[in-house]
Chains A and B, each alone.
Chain A
Amino acid sequence: MDWQALALSVKLSFVTLLFLLPTGILLGRWLAYRQFWGKSLLQTLLALPLVLPPTVLGYYLLVAFSPNQGLGLWLVNTFGATLIFNFQGLVFASIIFNLPFAIHPMQRAFAAIPREIREAAACCGMRPSLVLWKIELPLAWPGIISAMVMCFAHTLGEFGIVLMVGGNIPAETQTIAIAIYDRVQSFDDHAAAIMSFSLLLFSMLTISFTYWLSARSERTHD
């Protein structure tokens, strides 16, 4: 078991969650409540990572952030930083790739709250931020947790993009999925087997937990 790679993967997942939690809540909520021009276009864009091959996204990220031209060059000149071959780059790619996994369940969770309940809260004198805190979040939390768990598991297993924009650098971009690939290529089947089985177990736990959560939320909503 490559603990360094595992720690890196876990760190990547948590940092991704840190950014996706508020973004997912605000975006998911906004999409659930509002109708506006261009909404379907936005929803299509947000759903793209679901069907897009990771290599396509990896390719576009490489092209966009390669420090020799365009956006990548501007980043180097302005901030002295890059978004490829480092942890920040993985975080950035991971956030984009997990957007639909974060937003869709949260959007559904917020949409499931009857509009009248939010309105009743407003009529009770609650300003919008309080309505979010006291009414919406307590009712939507199973969907939110479910989204976060899915994002965590999905990031843990992400391979294609990490391979393309990460560079397989130990302690920086060598996540556990890459490490497994690496071990296989080093003919270390034993290590590969242990890591693969651990991830398999973890994925099963994640799915079961998500199902349990959605069953539980159905009960409270009756």
Chain B
Amino acid sequence: MTDSGIHITLQQAAPIPLSVQLDCKSGELLALVGPSGSGKTTVLRAIAGLYQAQNATIICQNEIWQNSVQNIFLAPHQRHVGLVFQNYALFPHMTVLENIQQAISHLPKQQRQTQALELLKKVHLEGLERRYPKNLSGGQQQRVAVARALARQPKVLLLDEPFSAVDQVTRRKLYRELLVLRESLSMPMILVTHDLDESTLLADRIALLHKGEILQTGTPEFVAAHPKSATIARLMDQQNLFTALVIAHDQAKQKTHLRWRGILIEATYQEQFAINERVCWMIQSANILLHRRGRPSNGNKENPLQGQITEYMESSGLAHLRVQVDKKLDTTISINVPLHVAKRNTLGLHEEIGISLLSEGIHLMPYQILRNES
């Protein structure tokens, strides 16, 4: 029974605290997400063998790369690892072709050249063999770095914020190319990034890292919709994060009743929270309905709220609104609607609108102090 994935556990208290357990299957792209300083790069370097964690087990495609208990530690050049560095780390004194060939130096000359040229073609850089890195654009350098990493025929592909050094237009192009490229790759891939949108776009699963600890893993959509704690919700950039009090559970109707700043709202049945227990809750913009003016509908019945638009911003085809549902307590909810919907409903600053919170979108989490609420 062969296991072609990678399994990582890292435990250490100092100098960099780490508490990580990760698994990534072959062909799967796992994004390691977290704010700067969370230890993402350290984890990646540990996988590559550039950093030796104190208590660690790293097994890749059935090869033991590190086992602290058995005192095994393979140096980076003994592991077949492909690492794309944040600043690409191309060899400045070698041409593009020579850079790629360094990863396959064990092959005879002719074969080396053919393979390197093939890889160049794969990353859409034909014709640039003889260029030196300093004469390449950021996007081109990144592609060479990827080609060089792949030339190694790695057992795991590691990418350390490989898109952070390029402009947005180039970045979008590189995203598309990576998505196409990975279809042909059969190894586990781990991408480190601090950009949530990037991870949602590219990754099959994400692992959220905070101060060296993995807080939650899952698909990007799931973690965004069902964060285990308010901290995670924050890290996932949730705008609508509040506290409330559990008032009642209604098992028959599969609802849990909450009181939120004087407003009664209904969530789906989440019995793990006791009555009179304080909780945190969140709701994604996608689970908030806009009451269309002049055309009431059934959806309006769930947790209806009236409010005034206190912030209105348009960007990339969306209108970002903040709706104040209680003037006295200054309670606001964030909601994004497509621009055409905003236009059709003549939404703008100070307009009065109605919204509905879908109870299935109200997700409860254990109580913790939130900074935005007084």
A: which residues have CB within 8 A of B?
Answer: 114, 116-117, 119-128, 134-135, 138-139, 220-222
Contact = CB atoms under 8 A, between A and B. Distances in A.
Nearest to A116: B89
19 contacts: A114-B87, A116-B85, A120-B83, A120-B91, A121-B91, A121-B102, A122-B49, A123-B50, A123-B77, A123-B81, A123-B149, A123-B152, A124-B102, A124-B103, A124-B105, A124-B151, A126-B102, A128-B77, A138-B93
Interface residues of B, number: 26
B361 interface: no
A134 B99 CA distance: 11
A220 B134 CA distance: 9
A123 B93 contact: no
Contacts of A123: 48, 50, 76-77, 81-83, 149, 152
Contacts of B296: none
Contacts of A138: 93
B19 to A, nearest CB: 25
A125 B91 contact: no
A220 B83 contact: no
B148 A124 contact: yes
Given A116-B85, A139-B93, A221-B92, A122 B75 contact: yes
B77 A135 contact: no
A126 B99 CA distance: 13
B77 A125 contact: yes
Contacts of A135: 91
Contact of B77 (A116, A122, A134): A122
Given A124-B148, A126-B77, A119 B93 contact: no
Contacts of B152: 123-125
A125 B75 CA distance: 10
Interface of B: 48-50, 75-77, 80-83, 85, 87, 89-93, 102-103, 105-106, 134, 148-149, 151-152
Contacts of B87: 114, 116
A123 B105 CA distance: 13
Nearest 5 A/B pairs, CB to CB: A120-B89, A116-B89, A122-B76, A124-B103, A124-B102
Nearest to B85: A116
Contacts of A222: 92, 134
Among B76, B81, B85, B149, max chain A CB count under 10 A is at: B76
A116 B103 CA distance: 15
Contacts of B134: 222
Nearest to A127: B77
A117 to B, nearest CB: 5
Contact of B89 (A119, A125, A139): A119
A221 B91 CA distance: 10
Nearest to A219: B134
Nearest to B145: A120
Contacts of A114: 87, 89
A127 B83 CA distance: 16
Given A125-B80, A125-B105, 18 more contacts: A114-B89, A116-B89, A119-B76, A120-B89, A120-B90, A121-B91, A122-B49, A122-B75, A123-B81, A124-B77, A124-B105, A124-B148, A125-B103, A126-B105, A127-B75, A135-B91, A139-B92, A139-B93
Contacts of B83: 119-120, 123
Contacts of A119: 48, 50, 76, 83, 85, 89
B97 to A, nearest CB: 14
Given A122-B50, A123-B48, A124-B148, A117 B89 contact: yes
B91 A117 contact: yes
B328 to A, nearest CB: 56
Task: Count chain A CB atoms within 10 A of each CB in B89, B106, B148 and give the residue with the most.
Answer: B89
A114 B87 CA distance: 10
Nearest to A222: B134
Contacts of A221: 92
Nearest to B81: A123
A135 B149 CA distance: 17
A124 to B, nearest CB: 4
A117 B254 CA distance: 58
Contacts of B90: 117, 120
Contacts of A122: 49-50, 75-77
B237 to A, nearest CB: 29
Contacts of B103: 124-125
Contacts of B81: 123
Contacts of B148: 120, 124
